């Protein structure tokens, strides 16, 4: 999978691409439904100031396809879809805009189920949920399972353990140096989990406020000046946790870490990026395999689960359901090493077989 504006969209064609616009509230959004072979298309709503409408459409297409593969590999009864709202959320996000967007989601009659993503959160999903039932990731107060960021980070941690087992023969991270690039909701949780696991964390973000929060919450983390400096640092695992395209030509050739495993979607920034990683003997865990914890967490909500009565039990149950990411990642990486194929090729083949033969109900 590739980032906006790079190598385009691979794989089976999308089923539907829709434009949503409401000038009265400043809403302009794109909803892409990639596949409903396994069930309703489930995927978050990203709110972002894109450089152009074409970039927004391509991002929606890429992200929707990624959700199809992510949900299939996670064993979820959902297809893949993704929405992007075009604009700066700090300037445009209002209850009116979110209500209008919720009505649009409702008009799709359950074909697409939305959730939070970059630029949106549980409070936003609560507002969207006032207009439609086809939304997950709402707050426990609104009957939801809450923010999925912690579950996403936990899944990435399981992916890292699998990478460690393949690279070093043991599935633990104690004593490993891990570079986390991107200190948003997921990145913050990941820093905490890595610290608990005994890893040394190198952390970087272009936003001063995110760096400051990390320094306060995790004083053990070592702050690195910028993303390029992080690439040059000596580390065992590089973890892209910001927006897509992190593994561009510069990063792939400059990276010193022998493992890449992160939460960002669409990390491969150009055609041939993964092959170059293989040539450099770098273990790459496909992002849509390891970052599935969040969607596993929120998918429970659509079937009637809620964190309202027992938040602690809900978190424990979510972790139990995310744990299999370790085995899935290990299986894919092992098969790739045995066959000489790239990890993404192995993962794609498995996902496509599942989508082609959905379980009978």
| Active site members | 82
Q: Are 58 and 9 in contact (CB under 8 A)?
A: yes
Q: Please give the distance of CA 227 from its chain centroid, rounded to a whole number.
A: 19
Count the alpha carbons within 13 Å of 264 in the hemisphere toward its beta carbon.
24
Q: What is the number of other CB atoms lying within 10 angstroms of the CB of residue 64?
A: 29
- What does the buried/exposed string (b/e) look like for 262-281 if buried means 16 or more CB atoms within 10 Å of the residue's CB? bbbbbbbbbeebbebbbeee
- Under 8 Å between Cβ of 219 and 228: no
Axis-axis angle for helices 311-322, 293-302 (nearest 10): 120
Q: Write the DSSP string, 129-169.
A: TTT-S-B----GGGTS----HHHHHHHHHHHHHHHHHHHHS
CA dihedral 58, 273, 239, 331 (to 10 degrees): 100
The answer to whether 293 and 151 are in contact (CB under 8 A) is: yes
User: Are the beta carbons of 135 and 115 closer than 8 angstroms?
Assistant: yes
Q: Give the closest residue to 70 by CA, choosing from 344, 334, 282.
A: 344
* CA dihedral (181, 116, 48, 76) positive or negative: positive
Helix (H/G/I), strand (E/B), else coil: 82? strand
Interatomic CA distance for residues 249 and 38, integer angstroms: 35
What phi and psi, each to the nearest 5 degrees, are found at residue 239? -125, 95
By the 10 Å C-beta count (0-12 exposed, 13-18 middle, 19+ buried), 323 is classed as middle
């Amino acid at each position: 999978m590739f980032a906006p504006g790079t190598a385009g969209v691979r794989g089976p064609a999308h089923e539907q691409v829709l434009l949503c616009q409401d000038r009265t509230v400043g809403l302009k959004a794109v909803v892409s439904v990639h596949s409903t072979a396994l069930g309703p298309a489930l995927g978050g709503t990203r709110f972002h100031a894109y450089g152009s409408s074409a970039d927004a459409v391509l991002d929606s297409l890429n992200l929707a396809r990624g959700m199809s593969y992510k949900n299939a590999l996670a064993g979820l009864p959902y297809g893949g879809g993704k929405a992007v709202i075009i604009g700066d959320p700090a300037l445009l996000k209002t209850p009116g805009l979110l209500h209008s967007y919720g009505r649009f989601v409702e008009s799709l009659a359950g074909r697409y189920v939305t959730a939070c993503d970059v630029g949106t959160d549980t409070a936003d999903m609560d507002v969207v949920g006032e207009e439609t039932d086809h939304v997950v990731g709402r707050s426990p107060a609104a009957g939801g399972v809450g923010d999925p960021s912690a579950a996403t980070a936990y899944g990435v941690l399981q992916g890292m353990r699998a990478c460690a087992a393949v690279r070093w023969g043991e599935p633990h991270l104690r004593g490993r140096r891990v570079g986390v690039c991107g200190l948003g909701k997921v990145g913050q949780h990941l820093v905490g989990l890595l610290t608990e696991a005994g890893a040394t964390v190198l952390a970087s973000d272009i936003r001063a406020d995110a760096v400051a929060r990390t320094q306060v919450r995790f004083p053990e983390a070592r702050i690195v000046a910028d993303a390029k400096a992080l690439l040059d640092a000596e580390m065992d695992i590089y973890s892209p946790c910001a927006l897509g395209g992190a593994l561009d030509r510069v990063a792939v050739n400059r990276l010193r870490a022998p493992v890449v495993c992160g939460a960002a979607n669409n990390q491969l920034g150009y055609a041939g990026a993964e092959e170059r990683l293989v040539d450099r003997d770098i273990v790459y865990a496909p992002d849509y395999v390891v970052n599935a914890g969040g969607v596993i967490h929120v998918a429970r909500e659509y079937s009637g689960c809620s964190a309202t009565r027992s938040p602690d039990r809900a978190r424990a149950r979510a972790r139990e359901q995310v744990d299999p990411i370790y085995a899935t990642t290990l299986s894919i990486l092992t098969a790739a090493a045995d066959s000489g194929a790239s990890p993404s090729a192995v993962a794609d083949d498995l996902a496509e077989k599942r989508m082609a033969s959905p379980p009978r109900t």
